[in-house]
Structure 1
Amino acid sequence: MADTREADPERRAPAKKGLHGWKAAGAVFGCGTLAAFGVFGVIVGVLSLFINSLSSGISTEGDPGDLPGEGIGAPRSSLEEGQMNVCEDNLDELTTITAMRQDSGENYVDTADPSQIDLDGALRVVKDECLWQITPEGNSAPWDFYFSYEAVIDAEAGENRNDIASGRFEELKSELPGTVEDIESVVESPFGGDSYSVYGAGESGQSLYVALLRTRSAVYSIHFEGRGEQAAVQVSEGIFLNEARKISNFLKKGFEYWIPGDGE
């Protein structure tokens, strides 16, 4: 298998105007009941418009299940077959990176077939691997971006899905240094929790960065390397890390939602 608030001054302004309105209404009330009610009516109208404008800014359209990353709330209760497809439905929606998919999507698997599952204790696994061309922020030279994941959706009675994924993470972690020909840096927990990264050079001398992460019962890999004529261009570990963090932050929210909440 191949990582943010201060009060808005515009929102405070209507409240200040309302306060002044209430004081004005109190002064008018001593001069005449009808005038007071008139002021109150204006205030109620202004407050209603203010509340309606706030409400209109909160979208209630769409199914939370369609959201790829942010604002998705608690984990779902179940997952239908084929419903979670990170390469097809999620990475393409990640607007903080500039990437174009290069593979045809033939590697996607959502299975409960024991012959296709090599994780002890797992009853259903969703997995995929895909290839992208990514253009990093502030850099015109594109990279190859290999992404892969395995998510344990169901487990045998008495088994914990997160524990199964944790074991898989450790297994892949031990293999990760072997994917880099000339290692310059190894970092434990670069994205917090279960995460691990290796940076260096590949067989052709191209800059290479591989990060392995676990979120709940999903283990996934982010693999960057120089491509084509640009492979000889040295890319710093910090630049690789910046793009990987965007992806990991996004996917963490996604996996936390897509993987059902029961049976941890």
Structure 2
Amino acid sequence: MADTQEKDAKRGRPAKKGLHGWKAALTVFGCGTFAAFGVFGVIVGVLSLFVTTVSSGLPSGESSTNPPGAGIGAPRADLEVGQMDVCSDNLDNLTSISVDRRDSGDSYLDTVDPDQIDIDGALRVVSDQCQWELISMGNSTPWDFSFNYEVVIDADSGINRDDLAAARFDVLKSELPDLVENVENETESPMGEHSYSVYGSGDSGQSVYAALIRTRSAVYTMHFEDRAVQSTNRVGEGTFQGEGRKISNFLGQGFEYWIPA
């Protein structure tokens, strides 16, 4: 790997090869294929449709079998090292939510090192952990938003990557309630291919919501925590889930395209 990577002096991680983020989105769009990862804001008409659909559901008369981003095209044949970076290239550009990144940005990993991979049978994994401040529409207090993801890019011969992600999902699902101090509800969630969420309150009475989602060989966790403590006007589970669905709808289309076939 050392022969194929350049070090980014600013962030201390492999420099990205080829097109990624908004450049990839523009290139793919120009070829007639709409890539879900990237900056949709460059095309005003498409952005308006995307935001309206994600925020309010499908337009009147549109079939639920034709969701936003349909026609994205077949998955990629391969993925260059450093090309998938969800925190830096994609969440920053999701215009249906208002976020401000708070972490240092040094947790990104695209590795084939077995000592750095926690998923048995996986040969290459892309992962990251990032922290954000999120301003929810209609909520006066900012939320703390944590986002962690793991994507199996390559696996041992004869092993299905989606099966590895499903096994990882089961492990993380058992740990999800640990993210909420006082659990009030646990349920299957309508996000991604498979998802599970936990809602309750923190040790200071603040509203907390955590969701685990799997799409193909990607598994990711969203954790929202309201900064208002001991509030009589708590953030409801549905409000948290609404913000989570904006993110999962966006990322679901992206993972379908960016994870190699």
1:45-103 Cα deviation digits (max 9, x unpaired): xxxxxxxxxxxxxx627996694384642211100000000000000110000111111
SS at match of 1:204: coil
Which letter maps to 1:224? F
Match of 2:118 in 1: 118
Following superposition of structure 1 onto structure 2, how do residues 61-100 of structure 1 map, counting pairs within 5 Å?
67-68=37-38, 70=69, 72-100=72-100
Q: Which 10-residue stretch deviates more, 67-76 or 246-255?
A: 67-76
Match of 1:194 in 2: 194
Q: Structure 1 residues 61 and 104 mapped into 2: Cα distance closer, same or farther (>3 Å)?
A: farther
CA contact (8 A) 2:127 2:149 kept: yes
1:159-204 Cα deviation digits (max 9, x unpaired): 1100000000000001111221111111113326310000001122
Give structure 1 stretches of 5+ with no counterpart: 1-58
For the pair 1:146 / 2:116, whether they are aligned, the reply is no
Q: Structure 1 residues 61 and 154 mapped into 2: Cα distance closer, same or farther (>3 Å)?
A: closer
SS at match of 2:229: helix
Following superposition of structure 1 onto structure 2, how do residues 173-252 of structure 1 map, counting pairs within 5 Å?
173-191=173-191, 193-227=193-227, 230-233=228-231, 234-252=234-252
Looking at structure 1, the residues matched to 247 and 229 of structure 2 have their Cα atoms a distance apart, in angstroms, of 22
SS at match of 1:240: helix
Give structure 2 stretches of 5+ with no counterpart: 1-28, 41-68
1:200-228 Cα deviation digits (max 9, x unpaired): 0112221100000000000001100012x
Higher relative contact order (CA 8 A, sep 6+): 1
Looking at structure 2, the residues matched to 210 and 120 of structure 1 have their Cα atoms a distance apart, in angstroms, of 25
* 2:30 paired residue among 45, 56, 60: 60
SS at match of 1:118: coil
Looking at structure 2, the residues matched to 87 and 140 of structure 1 have their Cα atoms a distance apart, in angstroms, of 25
Following superposition of structure 1 onto structure 2, how do residues 120-135 of structure 1 map, counting pairs within 5 Å?
120-135=120-135
Which letter maps to 2:229? A
Looking at structure 2, the residues matched to 67 and 166 of structure 1 have their Cα atoms a distance apart, in angstroms, of 23
CA-based RMSD of the aligned residues comes to: 1.9
Looking at structure 2, the residues matched to 246 and 225 of structure 1 have their Cα atoms a distance apart, in angstroms, of 17
Looking at structure 1, the residues matched to 166 and 174 of structure 2 have their Cα atoms a distance apart, in angstroms, of 13
CA contact (8 A) 1:190 1:197 kept: no
Q: Structure 1 residues 75 and 189 mapped into 2: Cα distance closer, same or farther (>3 Å)?
A: same
Instruction: Give the C-alpha shift of residue 118 in structure 1.
Output: 1.5
Q: Structure 1 residues 216 and 136 mapped into 2: Cα distance closer, same or farther (>3 Å)?
A: same
Q: Structure 1 residues 67 and 195 mapped into 2: Cα distance closer, same or farther (>3 Å)?
A: closer
Which letter maps to 1:60? G
TM-score, normalised to structure 1's length? Answer: 0.72
Q: Structure 1 residues 190 and 61 mapped into 2: Cα distance closer, same or farther (>3 Å)?
A: closer
CA contact (8 A) 1:98 1:135 kept: yes
Looking at structure 2, the residues matched to 64 and 125 of structure 1 have their Cα atoms a distance apart, in angstroms, of 25
Which letter maps to 1:225? E
Q: Normalized per residue, which structure has more helix?
A: 1
Match of 2:4 in 1: none
CA contact (8 A) 2:177 2:183 kept: yes
CA contact (8 A) 1:64 1:72 kept: yes
SS at match of 1:104: coil
Q: Percent identity?
A: 60
CA contact (8 A) 1:145 1:224 kept: yes
